[in-house]
């Protein structure tokens, strides 16, 4: 089929769809979808992050939201040509609603809509000052007693949080808080970011010294400023720390270092938070309208309670507190856990002449970094993708256009390719006694990450140490800790001078419980996970990440985080929701997430 014919076919569908919506004919619009359809909406229609699965859910959403959304101007994106593969036509689209402008992607099957992504990109009348609309900067002409740029920045820093209140407070100054802060800055939302560390980026600098990004550089850009062309594919932690510190300065973020939130409570009558902050020894109370927890995708470190732990004669700590390998040369180290942190720490300890044993209590998904780049991410995030015209923003939307319910269908063939390509590598791991898995349904790393955030390792070298028996692997459960080491349920005792608990983290709402009380945490419910009913991701099915980047059951409380990719991409939608509320734009939320009290 010729491209012009595909273009005409897609535009005809968009014209009919737009006409049905404009006429308020929900039944007609709904019949334009195939029966097993998916409509993923990022804020544009629902003021939420929701995926409608099947015609009934599409009809229900439109029944509730169409009158307020008032969509129109459905069209193919300029200079984008639809493509066809396997009977499915894929096309980039654009549209408008009463509040804003959006982009998206449509997939047609048998002339009807199979998947639809609608993603709000900007608010009408509140567009970002960028591109042709960028600020002039220089103040030409003369004016008495006017302030320089630096004087204006100094005054803002001195006043915000004291003489005038921020609209938004972000707790957590890692990549998530910084990315969101940058978005809000460009939208003109007065915002303060607080972080307990001495400098921006210390969240990375203060981790174990072998830490580096396991995701490639093309996947990890922050909003507005991309990494330079000569940036390493896998950046070391201290280099990332320096980049984040630079970013906070050039993006003019109001970033309070050495600041910790002591408590937060919501005033229903005033519709604002009362947040008590220890700012380098000074108690400051601020009253933001919106509060964002950007403490990462995980909660507090999870340290299992094993019998006899108090009797251990050596040192023990969680992986988040691991200082690095320098002090452990010649020591025996037992690492409990077998995922990313465990492997990174094991490799660094081995390099410093420590004798390392990793206890694997359950199977782990391993994927080699080069295979992940070339097969898993290469079409969207790679140097070749950039050369082919794939921008970061387009790649993010392609990724977002795949409904979580069926994303595994795209993932399984990719991981089958990796399994075949690296079959000798996997055989070596299994021969060394390392238990492997590919996820409950064979869909690999990304689905594991979405479903529970753990259970995998992107190999950047540690796996070969296991294959070569340089790092030992022990299988079994922990029976107890004894003075000389760790006793397994097999009766084997692993001698240790150091025990590292690479045992993961709890849910993010644990931070909410600490700061706002258990009642608020219970009202919000679990954070992260899809409800896939796979290992460690109990149902019911949500279709989106629980409580992330969207309204919660606690008024004016939001959660933001994830890896660098998610921090970049989803910060846009959270920023638009916050800006809309600040400007008094109506934001009728469709289907606020129900609370399920999960462990």
Tokens 């392609």 correspond to what residue?
A: 398
Q: What is the 3-state secondary structure (H, E, C) of 381-393?
A: CCHHHHHCCCCHH
In angstroms, rounded to a whole number, what is the distance separating the alpha carbons of residues 180 and 160?
18
| Strand positions, DSSP E, 240-287 | 255-256, 259-267, 272-279, 282-286
> CATH top-level class for 309-501?
alpha beta
Q: Which CATH number fits domain 3-123: 3.10.450.50, 3.40.50.620, 3.40.50.2000, 3.40.50.720?
A: 3.10.450.50
Could you tell me if 219 and 565 are in contact, meaning their C-beta atoms sit under 8 angstroms apart?
yes
In angstroms, rounded to a whole number, what is the distance separating the alpha carbons of residues 470 and 453?
28
| Lowest mean pLDDT segment, chosen from 320-324, 464-468, 566-570 | 320-324
Position 355 scores a pLDDT of 98
Beta bridge partners of 250: none
On the question of pLDDT at 299 being above 70, the answer is no
Domain(s) labelled CATH 3.50.50.60 in the chain stretch across 154-300+507-582, 309-501
- Among 456, 459, 424, 420, residue whose Cα is nearest residue 438: 456
On the question of pLDDT at 447 being above 90, the answer is no
In angstroms, rounded to a whole number, what is the distance separating the alpha carbons of residues 38 and 54?
6
Query: pLDDT-based confidence at 599, cuts 50/70/90?
Result: very low
Rounded to the nearest integer, the mean pLDDT of the chain is: 94
Q: Residue 134's CB: how many other CB atoms inside 10 A?
A: 9
pLDDT 10s digits, 55-89: 999 999 999 999 999 999 999 999 999 999 999 99
β-pairing, 72-76 with 49-53?
Answer: unpaired
Section 282-308 average pLDDT: 89
Judged by DSSP in three states, 260 sits in: strand
Position 2 scores a pLDDT of 45
Could you tell me if 194 and 170 are in contact, meaning their C-beta atoms sit under 8 angstroms apart?
yes
Position 146 scores a pLDDT of 86
Residues across the chain: 599
In angstroms, rounded to a whole number, what is the distance separating the alpha carbons of residues 425 and 523?
46
Q: Report the chain's C-alpha Rg in angstroms.
A: 25
- Tell me 327's DSSP state: G
Query: pLDDT-based confidence at 509, cuts 50/70/90?
Result: confident
pLDDT 10s digits, 23-44: 999 999 999 999 999 999 999 9
Beta bridge partners of 173: none
On the question of pLDDT at 1 being above 70, the answer is no
Sheet of 290-293: strands edge to edge? 255-256, 191-194, 168-171, 290-293, 557-559
Residue 100: partners with Cβ closer than 8 Å, 6 or more residues away:
44, 120, 121, 122, 123, 124, 576
Could you tell me if 316 and 432 are in contact, meaning their C-beta atoms sit under 8 angstroms apart?
no
**Alpha helices, H only, 272-352:** 340-351
Quick one: how far is CA 168 from the chain centroid?
20
pLDDT 10s digits, 141-161: 777 888 989 999 999 999 999
Query: pLDDT-based confidence at 3, cuts 50/70/90?
Result: low
More confident residue, 3 or 470: 470
- Among 205, 154, 193, residue whose Cα is nearest residue 279: 193
Tokens 């002090």 correspond to what residue?
A: 327
pLDDT over 90 percentage in the chain = 83
pLDDT 10s digits, 197-236: 999 999 999 887 778 888 899 999 999 999 999 999 999 9
- Among 508, 516, 511, residue whose Cα is nearest residue 264: 516
In angstroms, rounded to a whole number, what is the distance separating the alpha carbons of residues 28 and 41?
20
**Alpha helices, H only, 352-497:** 369-371, 383-387, 392-400, 404-421, 423-431, 445-451, 462-467
Could you tell me if 77 and 105 are in contact, meaning their C-beta atoms sit under 8 angstroms apart?
no
Domain(s) labelled CATH 3.10.450.50 in the chain stretch across 3-123
β-pairing, 557-559 with 100-109?
Answer: unpaired
Give the fold, CATH level 3, of 154-300+507-582. Answer: FAD/NAD(P)-binding domain (3.50.50)
The reply to whether omega before 338 is within 30° of 0 (cis) is no
């Amino acid at each position: 089929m010729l491209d012009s014919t595909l273009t005409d076919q897609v535009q005809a569908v968009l014209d009919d769809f737009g006409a049905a919506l404009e006429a308020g004919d929900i039944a007609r619009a709904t019949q334009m979808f195939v029966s097993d359809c998916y409509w993923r909406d990022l804020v544009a229609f629902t003021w939420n992050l929701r995926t409608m699965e099947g015609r009934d859910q599409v009809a229900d959403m439109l029944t509730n939201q169409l009158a307020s959304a008032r969509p129109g101007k459905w069209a193919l994106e300029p200079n984008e040509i639809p493509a066809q593969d396997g009977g499915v036509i894929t096309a980039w689209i654009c549209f408008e609603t009463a509040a804003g402008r959006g982009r998206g992607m449509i997939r047609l099957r048998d002339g009807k809509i199979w998947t639809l992504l609608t993603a709000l990109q900007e608010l009408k009348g509140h567009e970002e000052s960028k591109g042709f609309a960028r600020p002039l900067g220089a103040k030409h002409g003369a004016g008495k007693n006017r302030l320089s740029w630096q004087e204006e920045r100094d005054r803002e820093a001195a006043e915000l949080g004291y003489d005038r209140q921020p609209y938004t407070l972000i707790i957590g100054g890692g990549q998530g808080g910084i990315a969101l802060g940058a978005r809000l800055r460009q939208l003109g939302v007065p915002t303060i970011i607080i972080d307990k560390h001495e400098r921006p980026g210390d969240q990375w600098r203060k981790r174990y010294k072998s830490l580096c990004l396991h995701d490639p550089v093309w996947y990890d850009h922050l909003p507005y400023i991309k990494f330079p062309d000569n940036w390493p594919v896998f950046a070391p932690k201290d280099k990332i720390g320096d980049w984040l510190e630079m970013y906070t300065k050039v993006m003019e973020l109001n970033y309070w270092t050495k600041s910790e939130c002591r408590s937060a409570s919501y005033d229903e009558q005033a519709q604002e938070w009362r947040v008590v902050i220890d700012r380098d020894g000074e108690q400051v109370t601020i009253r933001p309208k919106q509060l964002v927890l950007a403490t990462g995708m995980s909660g507090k470190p999870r340290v299992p309670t094993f019998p006899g732990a108090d009797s251990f004669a050596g040192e023990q700590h969680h992986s988040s507190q691991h200082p690095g390998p320098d002090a452990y040369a010649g020591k025996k180290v037992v690492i409990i856990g077998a995922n990313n942190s465990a492997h990174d720490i094991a490799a660094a300890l081995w390099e410093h002449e420590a004798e390392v044993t990793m206890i694997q209590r359950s199977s782990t998904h391993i994927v080699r970094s080069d295979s992940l780049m070339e097969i898993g991410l290469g079409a969207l995030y790679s140097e070749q993708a950039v050369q082919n015209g794939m921008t970061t923003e387009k790649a993010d939307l392609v990724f977002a256009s795949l409904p979580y319910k069926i994303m595994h269908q795209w993932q399984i063939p990719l991981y089958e390719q990796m399994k075949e390509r690296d079959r000798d590598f996997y055989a070596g791991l299994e021969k060394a006694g390392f238990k492997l898995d590919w996820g409950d349904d064979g869909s690999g790393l990304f689905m594991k990450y979405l479903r529970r955030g753990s259970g995998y390792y992107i190999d950047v070298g540690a796996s070969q140490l296991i294959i070569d028996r340089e790092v030992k692997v022990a299988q079994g459960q922990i029976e107890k800790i004894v003075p000389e080491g760790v006793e397994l349920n097999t009766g084997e005792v692993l001698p240790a001078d150091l025990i590292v608990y690479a045992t993961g983290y709890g849910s993010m709402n644990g931070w909410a419980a600490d700061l706002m009380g258990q009642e608020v945490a219970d009202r919000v419910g679990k954070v992260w996970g899809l409800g896939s009913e796979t290992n460690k991701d109990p149902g019911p099915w949500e279709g989106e990440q629980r409580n992330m980047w969207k309204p919660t059951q606690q008024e004016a409380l939001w959660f933001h985080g994830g890896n660098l990719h998610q921090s970049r991409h989803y910060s846009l939608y959270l920023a638009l929701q916050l800006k809309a509320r600040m400007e008094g734009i109506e934001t009728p939320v469709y289907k606020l997430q129900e609370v399920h009290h999960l462990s």
